[in-house]
Amino acid sequence: MFYLPYQPIHKEPWNKGKLIGQKPPLKLNEIWGIRIRLQLLNKQRELALFNLAIDSKLRACDLVRLRVQDIQNGGSVASRTMIIQKKTQLTVQFELTNQTRISIENWIRAASLETHNYLFPSRSSHLSTRQYARLVTNWIGSIGLDSSVYGTHTLRRTKASLIYKRTQNLRAIQILLGHSKLESTVRYLGIEVDDALEMAEQTEV
C-alpha cells in the first residue's frame, strides 16, 4: 500500500500582527475626547456603553450581558448595583456616576427598553463581545490613538488605574475589579512597573 508523506497543515498564529500584553488605560483627556465625540454625534447607545464600561470596570463578557433590571432600582438607574461575574462566579459591586446614569436613562428611553431586556440588545440576543471590541477600536481611533495597542480591557482598567494613582489602595482596587487574589490586581494594573518608572522620573542625578 502506498502512503503519502505527512504534511502538517500550516496555521497562522492567532496573534500574528497583533500586540499582545496588558492594554494601557485611558487618560482623563482621552476619556473626555471620546465622550464628547459620542455626544456630538448623538450616539446614545455608544455613549451609554462607554460610560458604563468606565464606571463598572466589568469584563466585556459581563458588560454586554447586563439587563435593564440589573442597573435599575425603582424604575430609575441606581447609583450602585451588584452582579455575579461570569468568569469567577463572585459578586462585584460597582458605582454609576451621575453622567453615566443620565446617558443610560436616555438610551433606555430612546430604545424603549423594558426591565427584562438586555441593556444593549442585538437582533438575536445581546451585543457580542466581538461587536463591543469593534466599537472600542472605533472609539480609540476617533481620538487619534493606535487602536492595536488598546482593547476592551483598556476600559476595565481605566478607572481602577486612576483610583490607584490617587489612593495607592490596592485592596480597594481588588474589590472594585472583583479579583479573588491581591496578586491578580498587582499584575493586572502593572503596578510594580508603573511605580518604578514614577520613582525613576522623580529622581535626578
Cell 456616576 belongs to: 97
Distance CA 142, CA 160 (A): 23
Give the pLDDT score at 54: 94
pLDDT tens for the chain, residues 1 to 205: 555 555 555 555 434 444 445 788 899 999 999 999 999 999 999 999 999 999 998 999 999 999 999 999 888 999 999 999 888 888 888 999 999 999 999 999 999 999 999 999 998 899 999 999 999 999 999 999 999 999 999 998 888 888 787 877 778 777 778 877 877 777 767 765 555 456 455 545 4
The class (CATH top level) of 28-201 is: mainly alpha
Give the pLDDT score at 15: 44
Q: Which three cell numbers stand for residue 124?
A: 438575536
Distance CA 84, CA 133 (A): 22
For residue 101, the Cα-to-chain-centroid distance in whole angstroms is: 17
Look at the alpha carbons of 199, 145, 128, 126 in this order and tell me if their dihedral is positive or negative: positive
- Domains in the chain: boundaries: 28-201
